[in-house]
Structure 1
Amino acid sequence: MEDQLHALLSTYSMRLMKTLSKENSLQSLVELGTEMLGNPLTVTDIVTKVIAQTATTHVTDDPVWNTLNSEKYFDFETFSYYAKNRLGEETEKHDKPFYWSDPYCKYRRLMNKITIGGKTLATIAVCAHNRDFKKEDEAILSLLCDAFAIELQKDKYYQFSQGLLHQGFLQDLIDGKYTDERLIIERMKVLNLNFKSKFFVISLDTQYFNTTSATLPYMRDTVESKLVNAKAVIYNNNVVILASCENEMHFLEIQLNSLKEILKKNNMQVGVSRSFTHITEVKDHYLESVEAIRLGNILNKEHYFYRYENYILYDLISNYSRTDKCRRLIHHALIKLIEYDKENGTDYVQSLYNYIYYFKNIKDSAEALNIHRNTMFHRVEKIERLLNVDLNDTDVVFQLYLSYKILEYCKNSAT
Structure 2
Amino acid sequence: MEIEHNLGKLADFSHRLQQAVIKTAEVHTIVECLRSFTSLTSLYSSITEPSFCLPAVGEHGKDMLKEAEELLERQPPTGRKQIRLTLSGGHTVFLQPVSGLGHVLSYIGIAAKKNETCGENEIFIGLLLDYAGKTAEQLLLRKLVLDDRTSDVHASLVHGILFGEIPHEDQMLAQIGLPSLSAGHYLFVSGAVILDRSGQQDEGFSSKGPNQDIAMLLRTLLSTHGIYNLLLLHNNVIHLLCIRETFGNRQAQWEKVKQSLRKVTELLMKSGQLRPQESLRIQAGFGHMKASLRDAAQSYREALDAVAITRMLQERPAGSVFYEDMGIYQILKSIGDTARLIQFVQSHLGPLLAYEQAGGTSLLQTLDHYLSCMGSKQETAERLFIHRQTLYHRLDKLDELLGSDYLKPERRLCLEVAIRAYDLVKEEMQTEQAM
TM-score, scaled relative to structure 2: 0.47
Higher strand share: 2
Higher Cα Rg, which structure: 1
